[in-house]
Amino acid sequence: MRFVRVGLLVLSGLGLLRVSLFTDAYLRYVKEGMRPLLIASGVLVLALGVAEVVSWRREHAEEHAEGHGHDHSGVPRVAWLLLLPALSLLFYAPPALGSYTASRGAPKAVAVVEEDGFEPLPATSPLPITLTDFTQRVQQDTGRAIEGRTVRMTGFVTPVGEGDGWYLTRLMLSCCAADAQSVKVRVYGVAAPPADSWVTVTGVWHEGGTLGTSSAAVALDARGVERVERPVNGYTDALPLPS
Partner 1 sequence: MRAIEDTGIREREADPADEEPARGLPRYWLWLLVGAAVLPGTVLVLVGRALDEPAVQAWRTVCLAVVVQAMPFLLLGTALSGAINAFVPAHVFNRLLPKRPALAVPVAGAAGVVLPGCECASVPVANSLIGRGVTPAAAFAFLLSAPAVNPIVLTATAIAFPGSPEMVLARLLASLVTAAVMGWLWLWLGRAEWLKPAVRHAGHRPGHSRWTEFRQGFQHDFLHAGGFLVVGAMAAATFNVAVPRSVVDAFADSPWLSVLLLAVLAIVLAVCSEADAFVAASLSGFSPVARLTFMVVGPMVDLKLFALQAGTFGRAFAVRFSTATAVVAVVCSVLVGGVLL
Q: Give the binding site for partner 1 (CB under 8 A).
A: 5, 8-9, 12, 16, 19, 26, 28-30, 34, 37-38, 40-41, 44-45, 48, 51-52, 55, 73, 75-82, 84-85, 88-89, 92-101, 104-106, 108-109, 174-179, 181
d(CA 80, CA 83): 6
Q: Would you say 150 or 181 has its CB closer to partner 1? A: 181
Q: What is the DSSP letter of 125?
A: S
CB-CB contact of 123 with 51 (8 Å): no
Distances (CA, A) of 222 to 65, 140, 150, 161, 228: 79, 22, 9, 19, 16
Q: Would you say 112 or 239 has its CB closer to partner 1? A: 112
Secondary structure class of 30 (helix, strand, coil): strand
CB of 66 to partner 1, least distance (A): 15
CB of 123 to partner 1, least distance (A): 31
CB of 226 to partner 1, least distance (A): 25
Q: Would you say 3 or 80 has its CB closer to partner 1? A: 80
Q: Would you say 114 or 116 has its CB closer to partner 1? A: 114
CB of 69 to partner 1, least distance (A): 16
Q: Would you say 176 or 241 has its CB closer to partner 1? A: 176
Q: Apex CA 99: angle with CA 20 and CA 24, to 5°?
A: 10
Q: Would you say 178 or 241 has its CB closer to partner 1? A: 178
Q: Extract the runs of DSSP E, i.e. beta strands, from the chain.
A: 127-128, 151-159, 166-172, 181-188, 198-205, 219-227
* Nearest by Cα to 149 from 141, 157, 161: 141
CB of 5 to partner 1, least distance (A): 7
Task: Kindly give, in sequence order, each residue whose CB lies less than 8 Å from that of residue 162, ignoring residues fewer than 6 positions away.
Answer: none
Task: Kindly give the pairing relationship between strand 219-227 and strand 181-188.
Answer: parallel
d(CA 84, CA 240): 37
CB of 54 to partner 1, least distance (A): 10
